[in-house]
Every structure is written in structure tokens, then in C-alpha cells.
Amino acid sequence: MVKSIKNTNREKMKTKINVKNLNLWYGKNHALHGIDLNIYKNKITALIGPSGCGKSTFLRCINRMNDLINTVNIKGQIVIDDKNIYDNDVDEVSVRKRIGMVFQQPNPFPKSIYENVAYAPIKHGIVKKGKACDELVEKSLVSAGLWDEVKDKLQDPGTSLSGGQQQRLCIARTIAVEPDVILMDEPTSALDPISTEKIEALMLELKKKYTIVIVTHNMQQAARVADYTAFFHLGDLIEYDETQTIFVNPKEKKTEDYITGRFG
Amino acid sequence: MKTNKKNNPFYDPSLKKRHASAKRFKYFALSSIIIAISFLLFFLSDMLIKGLPALQQTYVQVEVTYNKKSMKSARQSIDRKLRRVVSRAAIREIPRQMQNDPQLMNTTKFKWILADDQVDQYIKGNYYKLKSKDKNKVDELKEQNRVELRFNSIFFTHGDSKIPEFAGIKSALIGSIFTLLVTMAVSFPIGVMTAIYLEEFAQDNKFTQIIEVNINNLAAIPSILFGLLGLAIFINIFGLPRSSALVGGLTLALMTLPIIIVTARAALRSVPDSIRQAGYGLGLTKIQVVRDHVLPLAFPGIMTGSIIGLAQAMGETAPLIIVGMIAFIPDSPSTITEAATVMPAQIFTWAGMPERAYIEKTAMGILTLLTVLISLNGVAVYLRKRFETKW
């Protein structure tokens, strides 16, 4: 069902994540049906679809977060940098280090702003405590557009920030581990419009360095930020194309119905 | 409420009944609180009235003769007519005083000496058993201002005694502390580790479910059975010293373990999953997530639960009676393997004593135990407030 993407720049675009025939079961419930998808490097790919369509489940497959749920059973391949991350010799912890994740609810650790950012890089051995660590924290917070707001109160608890700031702190925390891909699971659904705008601007900035996959319920958001959009419905990938095409000229009836608000 | 049906668009005929039912419920709930509080107040005031007199002890001023005769037989040091008025325990001390201070030899001095328990009861206005000549002697001394009520430091500096005026809570208090230390050292690490394993690491399968059900059931087992278990295992199989704080502590640890496990699991479960997700999403390992992010948040809850479990262990008597910790312990134990007793067991022993003076000792013992328990709970509340992190 997936239409190959006809793009004049196709030769230039590098595939970052290549999903091949991905199936997922929650116990006996078949939640993802043979998904095939190419996610391109330094692009923002949006996953849209009604609730329960499997888009979040799919997103969590990309960094093996679903491995945390006992009943989940996954078949198929997700190839990143020529390596299937579901191979037996791949440790899911190292996958999650390379593929960061930002969640729906801002979830800073109940520690200081500084520790929120510095904790994981220190544990991964990227930096040691001290000057290098301070620099990394600053760099990450600058990248997340939060530095100017928090530079005078790095020792305050991360939870003392506003919702939007907390979410940017979570993004900074993710960037600090130096991943290749950032997954975002409805990152702005708990935020007000102004914070949302800031996060969206930040995403457009971040895609220069990272490949971003975002799950969103907000169609305008997908249209505003995403280069590519995938439409999921009941565990199937219905349509995947450039965002422009999906929104202006969808090939599938279901996609058109969803986008025009006839269901979902 | 006067409602005008016609002019009031908000009039609802069923409302009156509904409000009344809410009010009834409120008063029922309120009255149950009042009943509970009045029971508590009655108990507390009864304890205070009975126990507070034990804070004071009667002393009498008598002439003490220090010479060779009284060195041999301490009774000789006190005038025959006054002998019955002073405490036997105090008379016993006199030869030792002479040994420590040879200059006392062949002198006669007026000294304040601990009075006999019946004299003490007579002075305090309780029921007493005194021969009339002894009673007259006491009245005579009193007229000469030679009878005095002083702060009873003996109660806090001495162990149990068969002489009521000389009995104290110290050895039981130290026994309780030793026992509790053993209990804490054993049950806290094992309990918390078990909870962490079951909550964070174990798979949810039949095996862990059976373990879970059994742990919950253990929390409801009568404590005397734990005493039998301790007797069978620690004393009969491992041969640990009977009546010791070690055996008592281990037995209480068995009893406290399920409480600590259950409360620690609840505390771990109350940590929002988003914290774990955040950790895993950054590529942290399980132990890093649990140790550095989940445990600090669960810590106040774990501490509160553990302290409540330990406080319960501190008030426990039945299992300790079975492992022999109800012994008569005049001298405080200095190690955990020596014979010891605990405060509730001491209270139990005193409550069974025939002498009138033990009534106030019993009440004072209960007050001491309550003070320790309340301070333990205070520590729990403090820890909770101190380490509570908001997010």
C-alpha cells in the first residue's frame, strides 16, 4: 500500500531508518501489520492517525522501548546504519542511547536542571564531571533554546520550570547524549500554544543535525513542521509521502477522510 | 430552609432529603471520631495519673552508723526502729560505701536514704501495708521534715529488681534498643532489596505472583507463630543464645519483613512511570534508573513504612516470650548475645507482680514505651517531610 516517494531530490536523500515488514503483537492483539517505511536523514517525519492506530507503538519500536513491556512480541526489521536493531547482538540500551526520545508529558528527573542534562552523558562516559561536563550542559541547553532562561538557576530543580521549559529541558537532556535520531511522542500536546511554537521552531532548527520522528495528533503541526508524513490506521500504514502531497493531494480515500476531519 | 415553591425556579422537593442524608452521615462519622478520641484520652489520662507518681520516690533521713558491725551485717547500721522504714536495697549498699570511702569508718551520719516501698505508697496516699508502729515512726519522721519526695532517677538508671522501689526500666530499654538494632539491620536491607527486585526486576509470572500472595499473607500471621519459628530455627537449629537480643531481633525481623516489603513496594509503585521511561529513553541501564531516579523518589515512603514496621516490632511481646526474652534482667546487657528483656515484656512482668508499688512502675513503663514509639513515628514524619521531592 505504501507508495514510493517520487522526489526530484531523491538521489540526495539518505535513508536513516529502514523499516521492513514490521509486525507487533501485544499478547494476542496484532497491533502493527507489516509496516514498511523509509525515514530520511535530517528530515522531520510526522506520524499521524486516530487514537489507537499504532503510531506511538511504531515510534517506540524504533528505540526498542517496547521491549520493556513483557507481553510485546515483535517480528520484522528496523535497519539503522546498515544494522538491524532487533538482531540478537544488539543491546537495546545502546540503541536508546543513539536514538533519543521525548515524551508526551514533560518528565524531568526530580533533580536540578544541571543534573537533568548531565546525568546520562556522565553515565555513558561521554564526559567526566567538571569543565567538559559544564560545557556539554551549556551546549545542550543552548541547542534546546533554554540556556538564556535557566543559566542563572542551573541548581534549581528541573520540576520548578514551566511546562514548556520542562519539555525543552527534556529535549536538551536527549541532545546531551549525542543521538542520531530524536523520537518525539506528542511532545506538545500538554503545552500551551506559545510553548508549542517554541518547540516547533526548535525542531526545525534541530533537524539540521538530527533525524526527527514525531507523533502528533495536531494535523496543523504535522503540516507546519514535517517534511514527510505517514498516516496510520488500525495498525496499517495507509499512506506515506511528502507532507505537501499527503495534505493537498492524498491518494487514499481514508487519508483524505481523516485529514478533512471526517473521522478520527 | 423556607422555600417558596411557586416563585423559586430552583426548588427541588427531593433536595431536603438528600441534604439530610449527607448531614446524617457527617454526624455519624464525627461521632465515631469523638468516641475514638475519648477512648484515647481516657487511656492516656489513666496512664498519666497512675504512672506519673512513679517519677517521684520517697526518701527518709536516718542516722547511719558506719562500723565493723555494720560492715558484717548491713542491717546493724540503721537504728532497729527505723530498719523497716528504709529500703532493703539501700541498706545493702552501705558496706560498699564504707569500702569505697574508708574515712566513713566509725562515724555516724544523718543521711537521706531511699524509703521502703510501703512507706512510699503511704506517703503518696495509696493503699499501704505498714505495721502501726512503723507507720507512727514515719509520721514522726514526717513531722521532723525527715521525709521527702525526690525525682526517681533509679527508674531510669537501674534494671529490674524484686525490691519495687529499686526497680527500673533501663535494662529493658537497652534490651529493646539492641533487639531493634538487630531487627533493623536484618529486615531493612533484605526487605527493601526484595521489594526492589519484585517491583522493578522480576517478570510478572506465576512464580512471582505466588511469592507476592505469600508475602501479603505473612503480614497477617499471628506474631506468636513467628516466635515459635524463631525458637525452632534460631535456638534449636542454629543454637544461638536463648533470651538474647540477637535471637529476639532475628525473630522480630521475620515478622517485620513482610511489612517492609509491602510498604516499600507500594512506595516504588507510586513513583510515576514517566521517570523510568525518561531514564530508559536516555539509554540508561535498569540499575541506573532504579538506583538514581526511582529509589530517591520512593525513599520517604520506604522509610515511613520501615519505621512503622519497626515501631510495631518494638511493641511486640508474644514472640519474644517464646524465645525467652521475658527473663528477670537486673543488669543491662552490653552485647546482643547476653540475656536481655524488652520494654513490653518488662511491663508484662511488672503487671503480674503482687506488690502495690509495681502498679505505678507498670504505668510508667507504658508511658516510657509510648514516648519511644511516638518519637520513632516523629522521626518517620520528619524523614517524610525532609526527603519528599515534588515534581
* Measured distance CA(A80)–CA(A162) in Å, rounded: 35
Q: What is the pLDDT of residues B112-163, one digit of tens each?
A: 999 999 999 999 888 888 888 888 988 999 999 999 999 999 999 999 998 9
Rg (chain B; Cα; Å) = 30
CATH number for A102: 3.40.50.300
pLDDT for A177 equals 92
pLDDT at A3: 45
Helix, strand or coil for residue A126? coil
Can you give the pLDDT at residue B90? 87
Superfamily the domain B170-387 falls into: MetI-like (1.10.3720.10)
Q: Is the pLDDT of residue B223 over 80?
A: yes
CA nearest B275: which of A169, A31, A106, A234? A106
Is A38 a member of any domain?
yes
User: How many independent structural domains does chain A possess?
Assistant: 1
pLDDT at residue B1 greater than cutoff 60: no
| CA distance to B195, B217, B233, B271, per residue, from B203 (Å) | 13, 21, 31, 18
d(CA B64, CA B93): 12
pLDDT at position B105 is 83
Angle at alpha carbon of residue B375, lines to B171 and B387, rounded to 5°: 130
Q: Residue B390 has what pLDDT?
A: 55
Residue B274 backbone zone (phi > 0: left; psi -120 to 50: alpha; other: beta): alpha
Using CA atoms in the order B285, A116, B278, A18, what is the torsion angle rounded to 10 degrees?
Answer: -80
Identify all chain B residues contacting A159, using CB atoms and an 8 Å cutoff. 389-391
In the sheet where A72-80 sits, what is the strand order? A29-40, A15-26, A72-80, A83-84
Query: For residue A134, what is its C-alpha cell?
Result: 559544564
CB of B278 within 8 Å of a chain A CB? The answer is yes
A122 inside domain: no
The interface predicted TM-score (ipTM) is: 0.87
Res A8: pLDDT: 46
**pLDDT for res A264:** 56
CA dihedral for B108, B112, B114, B118, sign (positive or negative): positive
Q: What is the pLDDT of residues B283-326, one digit of tens each?
A: 999 999 999 999 989 988 999 899 989 999 998 999 999 998 88
Return the sign of the alpha-carbon dihedral for residues B282, A102, A44, A67: positive
- C-alpha–C-alpha distance, residues B210 and B207, integer Å: 5
pLDDT band at residue B171 under the 50/70/90 scheme: very high
Q: How many CA atoms lie within 13 A of B356 on its CB side?
A: 15
Q: Which domain range does residue A90 map to?
A: 15-107+178-259
Residue pLDDT, tens place only, B94-114: 888 888 888 888 888 888 999
**Chain B interface, best mutation among A93, A102, A122, A213, by max B CB count within 10 A:** A93
Query: Residue A12: its pLDDT value, please?
Result: 59
The confidence score (pLDDT) of residue B59 equals 93
Touching check for A190 and chain B: CB below 8 Å?
no
Best of A109, A169, A178, A182 to disrupt the B interface (most B CBs within 10 Å) is A109
In a domain, A82, yes or no: yes
Is A250 part of a structural domain of the chain?
Answer: yes
B280 and chain A in contact, CB less than 8 A:
yes
User: How far is the alpha carbon of B276 from chain A, nearest alpha carbon, in Å?
Assistant: 9
The whole-model pTM stands at 0.83
Backbone angles phi, psi at A44, to 5 degrees: -100, 125
Find out whether A192 and A163 touch, Cβ atoms under 8 Å.
Answer: yes
The tens digit of pLDDT for each residue in B37-55 reads 999 999 999 999 999 999 9
Query: For chain B, what is the total number of helices (H) and then of strands (E)?
Result: 16, 3
Least confident of B84-88, B233-237, B286-290: B84-88
SS3 B259: helix
Residue B95 CB-half CA count within 13 A: 12
Residue A29 lies in a domain: yes
Residue A228 β-bridge partners: A45, A242
Please give the backbone phi and psi of residue A127, each rounded to the nearest 5 degrees, phi first.
-135, 165
Cβ atoms of B304 and B380 closer than 8 Å: yes
* Model pLDDT for residues A191-247, shown as the tens digit of each residue: 899 989 999 999 999 999 999 999 998 889 999 999 999 999 999 999 999 999 999
* A70 to B204: CB separation less than 8 angstroms, yes or no: yes
Q: Which residues of chain A have pLDDT under 70?
A: 1-12, 264
Determine contact, residues A236/A1, Cβ cutoff 8 Å.
Answer: yes
Query: Which residue spans within chain B are E strands per DSSP?
Result: 56-66, 107-114, 147-151
Q: Is residue A154 included in any domain, yes or no?
A: no
Q: What is the DSSP string of B57-98?
A: EEEEEEEEEESHHHHH-GGGGB-TTTTTTB-HHHHHHHHHHH
Give CA separation, B63 vs B37, B66, B111, in Å: 51, 10, 6
Structural domain boundaries of chain B?
61-96+108-150, 170-387
Question: A110 vs B297: CB contact, 8 Å cut-off?
Answer: yes
Domain assignment present for A229: yes
Nearest CA in chain B to A101: B281
Domain membership of residue A195 (yes or no) is yes
A65 contacts on B by Cβ (under 8 Å): 277, 280-281
**Residue-averaged pLDDT of chain B:** 90
CA B327 to chain centroid: 17
Overall average pLDDT of the B8-13 stretch: 85
Task: Locate B298 and state its grid cell.
Answer: 520512593
A236-242 and A83-84 strand pairing: unpaired
Give residue-wise pLDDT tens across range B316-356. 999 999 998 888 888 889 999 999 999 999 999 999 998 88
pLDDT at B2: 56
Pairwise CB contact (< 8 Å): B281 & A65 = yes
Residue A201 pLDDT: 93
Q: What is the DSSP letter of B282?
A: T
Residue type, A64: R
